[in-house]
Chain A
Amino acid sequence: MTTPGVAVELVELTRVYGTVKALDGLSLRIEPGELVALLGPSGCGKTTALRILAGLDEATSGAVKVDGKDISGVPANKRDMGMVFQAYSLFPHLTVLDNVAFGLKMRRKAKADRLSRAKEMLELVGLSEHSHKYASELSGGQQQRVALARALAIQPRVLLLDEPLSALDAKVRTQLRDQIRRVQLEVGITTLFVTHDQEEALAVADRVGVMNRGRLEQLAAPAELYANPATPFVAEFVGLNNKVAARVSGGTADVLGTVVPTLPGSVASGEGLAMVRPESVTVTADPAGSARVSSVAFLGPTSRVYVTLPDGEVIGAQLTSVAARAFAPGDPVTVGVDADGVLVVPS
C-alpha cells in the first residue's frame, strides 16, 4: 500500500500570461512523503504552480524536478502524478469502479488486477458500497472521495490536490479534509495541496507556503507560520486581521496599554501598526472603560466581539460564546492584548 515518497522541486518558476506575471520566480522544495499546502488569495499563482507541476501548463522559465530529475518537458500523461481537481472530475459515463480503474487501464494492467486495486482504493476512502453507481448518483463529497481514490489507484509518485474541498459544504469539508490527511499519511505520498482556506491549510499540511503575486512569502510549519508570520501579508492571511496603533522601542511594543515583545520583521522603533489576531485581544467589562462594544457575532462555540476604540478604530476579539454573553452593543469595556509577540508594520 505504501508508496515511497519522492522529493519535488520547483526551481525559479515563472509564468507570464500576456502582461500578467502569474508566477514570479517561485522556488519550492517538498520533501519525500511531505504534504505542503500552498495558501493564498485568488490570482496569487498557487494553482498555476500546481498545474505546471502536473504538466497541464508550461512555465515561461524555470524547472520542475521530481526525485532529482528535470521533468519540465514531460507531458502530463507521462508524469505519473495523481490529481484531484476543484471541479467534479469523475467521468460521467463510467461507474465509480470503472472511474477508479481508468488510470490502471491506461497502464495496461490486467483486468483482475485493476479491479482488485480499484476496490482496495474504494475501501480506503470508505465507498466500497457505491462502486456500481455513476457520478450523478453521488453527493459532492462522495465524488471527491472517489476522485481521491482514482488519483491514488495509479500509485503516483506525487499527489496534487487543487482546492478539492472548495465546492463542498462546511461539514463535509472538515470530514474530507481529515480523511485526505489520514490517507496521505497512510500511503506516505508526497503531496501538494492548493487552497485559499487558511484553516484548511493549517489543519492538513506539514508545511504551509503563503503565496502573494506569484511569489512565496513564507514557507513554514503551521504553528511557526501562525506564531511568527514573516510579512504583513502573511500575518493578515493567517488571521492577524486587527491592526492596532503601537509604539515600538527596545524590542517591545506598547499595544492597547500592554507591552509585548515584537516579532522579527517589525519596525525597529517609533510608531507602527501592530497586527493582532482576534484570539489575542482581551475584553473586560469596565464602567469606566473608554472603548465601546459595537456588535457581537455568534459563531457557535466562539463569538466575535467588535469593540470601537476611542480613536474610532474597530477591533475584533474572539471569545468563547459563554464569555461573550456578558457583552452587548454599547457596553463600556477596556481592551488589552495577550500575546507572546506581535508583528508591527509601518503605519
Chain B
Amino acid sequence: MSRRLLRGAAWLGFGLFFLFPLYAMADFSTRNLLAGGRTLRAWANLVVDDALYQAIVVSLALSALTVIAMLVLLVPTLIWVRLRAPWAKGLVEFLCLLPLTIPALVIVVGLRNVYLWVTYFLGESALTLTFVYIVVVLPFAYRALDAALAAIDLRTLAEAARSLGAGWTTTILRVVVPNIWPGILSAAFISIAVVLGEYTIASLSGYQTLQVEIVAIGKSDGPTSVAASLAVLVFGFALLLALSLATRGRRRRLTTGVTE
C-alpha cells in the first residue's frame, strides 16, 4: 500500500515537474498583454504570420527529408555491415557518433566551403540543410537502428528470405524492415525532434527555420514565440505517444514466448 502511495507521489511529482512549464507556456501564449483577459491571437499567428508559417513548413519539410535520407543511408549500411562487413562495425560506429563530439559552430565553419558547392548546384534553399542534419542526427539514429538490428537474428532471417527466392531489396524491405520497425520509428522520431529543435546551424548558416523564426519573433512578440515553441513541444510529445502506440502491438507479437 505504502509502495503504491510512493509510486503515485512520484508520478504526481514528475507530472507537475514536466507539465507545469507547459501550462505556463499555454497560459502566457493565451494572455492578452495589453487589454488583459485571454486571446488566441498568438496561436492564430502560427498560420497567419507568413514568415512563421513558411518557417514551420520549411522545418517540417527538413524533418521529413532528413528522416527519409537518414533511413535510406543508414538502414542498408547497418544491415550490410552486420552481414557482410562486421570488421567495419567499429569504424561505422565511430563515424556515426563523431558528430556528437563536434560543436555545432565547428560544423558550420567546417561545412562553409562544402556549402559553397551545395548552393552552387542546388540553390540557396533552406532545404539544403538536410545534408547537415543527416550528419547531426546520425548518432541518435545509429543507436536506435543498431539496437533494433541486434535484437533480431538478422543473418538467419536474411538467409531464410534469400533461400526462398527474395533478392536483397526484397529481403530488406519485406523481412528486415518489418522486424526492426520499432527501431526505425524511434530513429525517425528522434531525428524529427532533433531537426525541429536545431537552432545554431540554421541561424549561423542564415536560413529561416522554425527555431530561428521563434527567436526572431520572441524579440518583438513574446506570446507568438511561446505559442510556436509550445506547438513544437506538443508535436514532439504527440510523436512519442504515436511511437509508443504504434510499436506496442508489434513488440508484444515479437516477444510473446511459448514453452515446448
Interface residues of A (CB under 8 A from B): 54-56, 75-83, 85, 87-93, 102-103, 106-107, 134, 136-141, 147, 150-151, 154, 160, 168-169, 172
Contacts and interface: CB of A to CB of B under 8 A. Distances in A.
A103 B164 contact: yes
Given A92-B253, A93-B178, 7 more contacts: A83-B163, A88-B153, A89-B159, A92-B254, A102-B161, A136-B256, A140-B260
Given A91-B157, A93-B178, A137 B258 contact: yes
Interface of B: 152-153, 156-157, 159-167, 170, 175, 178-179, 181, 250, 253-260
A81 B175 contact: no
Contacts of B166: 77, 102, 106
Contacts of A54: 159, 163
Contacts of A103: 164-165
Nearest to A136: B256
Contacts of A78: 165
Which 6 A/B pairs are nearest by Cβ-Cβ distance? Answer: A103-B164, A106-B165, A89-B160, A93-B178, A83-B163, A76-B162
B256 A137 contact: yes
Contact of B163 (A81, A93, A136, A141): A81
A77 B160 contact: no
A80 B163 CA distance: 7
Given A91-B175, A137-B258, A140-B260, A150 B164 contact: yes
B180 to A, nearest CB: 10
Contacts, number: 90
> Is chain B's interface secondary structure helix, strand, loop, or mixed overall?
helix
Contacts of A102: 161, 164, 166
Contacts of B157: 89, 91
A91 B162 CA distance: 12
B260 A106 contact: no
Nearest to A156: B163
Contacts of B179: 91-93
B257 A76 contact: no
Contacts of A83: 159-160, 163
A160 B163 CA distance: 10
A86 to B, nearest CB: 8
B160 A93 contact: no
Contacts of A56: 159, 162-163
A106 B160 CA distance: 12
B99 to A, nearest CB: 32
A75 B162 CA distance: 9
A63 B240 CA distance: 54
A235 B165 CA distance: 40
Contacts of B153: 87-89
Contact of B164 (A75, A106, A134, A138): A106
Nearest to A78: B165
A147 B178 CA distance: 19
